[in-house]
Structure 1
Amino acid sequence: GFEFCAPFGWRKQERILRRARLEDLSGIAKTGCLYRSGQDRLGRQVVVVIGKWFRPESMDLDKAFLYLVKMLDEINGEYSVVYFHTLTGQENRPSFRWMRAVYDNMEYRFKKNLKSLCIVHPTMWTKVLTWWFTTFMAPAIKAKVHNVAGLQELYTVIDPNHLQIPAFITEHDIVLNGFGAVAYSHNHSLAGTPTTPVK
C-alpha cells in the first residue's frame, strides 16, 4: 500500500494516476467524506473533507488516496480544500504516517495547485498536528493553512450557495457561534444553485 511508500519519480506517479482512473472507487465516494462542492469567491474549485465521516479503521486507505488523486486530476487547476473537523473523534483520525505518505506520493502539480486549506471548527489537536506537519514535513503549504472558527468566517471566502455540507455541521456551528452564519448566508449569498457532491 501507499502508507509505506517513500517519494517516487514520474513513473510511480503515472502508475498511481492510472490506477486512480481505472479502479472502482465508488465505495469511497459513498462514504461522503470527500467531494467537490462549487467554487470559492476567487473562482477556484472547492474540495470538501468531512472528518466525522472519515473512518480509517473501516476504509481501504489506498483507495481513499486514489479517490483524492482522481478528483484532483479531474479538477486539473487551482483548488481550495475545506476540512470540517466538526464532532470528530479518535476513530476519525488518520495516522501521521498515512498523512505523510499521501503528501509524499502526491504529484507536484496537485501540491502547487492547492491554494488554500481551511480547517473549520479546529481543536488543539488539529492545531498542533498541522503546525508539526507543515513545519517539518510540508513547509511549502504552511502559509496556505487557515484555522476557521466557524461558518460565518468561512462564508467570507466561499459563497454558501457553492458549499454543500451536512446538516450536523450547521447545527453544531449554531451551538458554538450562534445564528451569525445563518444570517450571513441569507444576506450575502450570491445568486446560484448549490452544486451536488461528486460521486
Structure 2
Amino acid sequence: MQIIRPYLRVISHGGYYGEGLNAIIVFSACYLPDSSCSDYHYIMENLFLYVVSSLEMLVAEDYLIIYMNGATPRNKMPGISWLKKCYQMIDRRLRKNLKSLVIAHPTWFIRTVLAISRPFISVKFMNKIQYVHSLDELAEIVPMEHVHVPECVVQFDEERIKARRERMEQEHRQQEQQSVPQEPIKKSERPKSMVVNQGL
C-alpha cells in the first residue's frame, strides 16, 4: 500500500446523479505514475487492485466513470495491456452496472488506444463511451458539485477556451477585412501641361 500512496488520488467519488445511489466515479489520469519511474509495472499492478477494490466499495447500483484525460502527458497514460487487464478482471457486475464512461478532453492518443482495444472490449461497452471537450460540456451531463477536478485539468480547460476564443476572434477579424469593399482605382489624369504641349 505504501508504494501506491502517492497515486491514491487517481480515483475519487464524485457524488451521485439521477435517482437512487447512482455513483459518479472520477478517474484522474494526471495522478498516474510516470512510466519511466522504477517499479512502474509493480506500482500499476497494485494500483489496479486498489482501483477495483475502490469501485466495489463505492458502487452500490448503477454508476458512471469520468475519465479526466486533460493535462495528462503521454508518459502517464496507461498502456493497452493495463487497460485490457482492468477490463478482463473487473467483476461482471461492475461492467454491467457501468452506464457511461465519459472521457473529458480526449486526445488522438486515447482515441487510438480505444480503437486498438476494440478486439477485447465488447460492443456494449464501447457504446457506453462518451467524449466531452470541456468542463462546461461535462457539467451538462453530470452534476459537478462533488466532482474533484484536478487544478492542472482546470488550467488546461481554461487555456483551451482562451485559445479557441482567440482563434475565433482572429477569424472574425479576417472575415471583416475581406468584407470591406475596396475603392476602385481611378485612372490618373494626364497633366494639363502635357495636353498643351501636344497641341503645339
The C-alpha deviation readout for 1:43-80, integer Å capped at 9, x for no partner, is 52111111111115345122211111211211232111
Q: Which residue identity lines up with residue 45 of structure 1 in the other structure?
A: A
Q: Is the 2:14–2:144 contact (alpha carbons within 8 Å) kept by the matching residues of 1?
A: no
Counterparts of 2:83 and 2:67 in 1: how far apart (Å)?
A: 14
Q: Is the 2:12–2:148 contact (alpha carbons within 8 Å) kept by the matching residues of 1?
A: no
Counterparts of 1:68 and 1:77 in 2: how far apart (Å)?
A: 17
Give the one of 117, 120, 126 matched to 1:137. 120
What is aligned with 1:40?
17
> Structure 2-normalised TM-score?
0.69
Unmatched tracts of structure 2, length 5 or more: 163-200
Q: What's the CA shift for 1:41? A: 4.3
Counterparts of 1:56 and 1:34 in 2: how far apart (Å)?
A: 17
Which 4+ runs in 1 deviate beyond 4 A? none
Counterparts of 2:19 and 2:76 in 1: how far apart (Å)?
A: 31
Q: State the percentage of identical aligned residues.
A: 22
What is aligned with 2:147?
163
Q: After alignment, is 39-48 or 154-163 more displaced?
A: 39-48
Q: Which residue identity lines up with residue 161 of structure 1 in the other structure?
A: E
Q: What's the CA shift for 1:150? A: 0.6
Counterparts of 1:172 and 1:93 in 2: how far apart (Å)?
A: 16
Q: Is the 1:35–1:48 contact (alpha carbons within 8 Å) kept by the matching residues of 2?
A: yes
Q: How many residue pairs are counted as aligned between the two chains?
A: 153
Counterparts of 2:109 and 2:19 in 1: how far apart (Å)?
A: 30
Q: After alignment, is 154-163 or 49-58 more displaced?
A: 49-58
> Structure 1-normalised TM-score?
0.70
Q: Are residue 69 (structure 1) and residue 52 (structure 2) matched?
A: yes
What is aligned with 1:99?
83
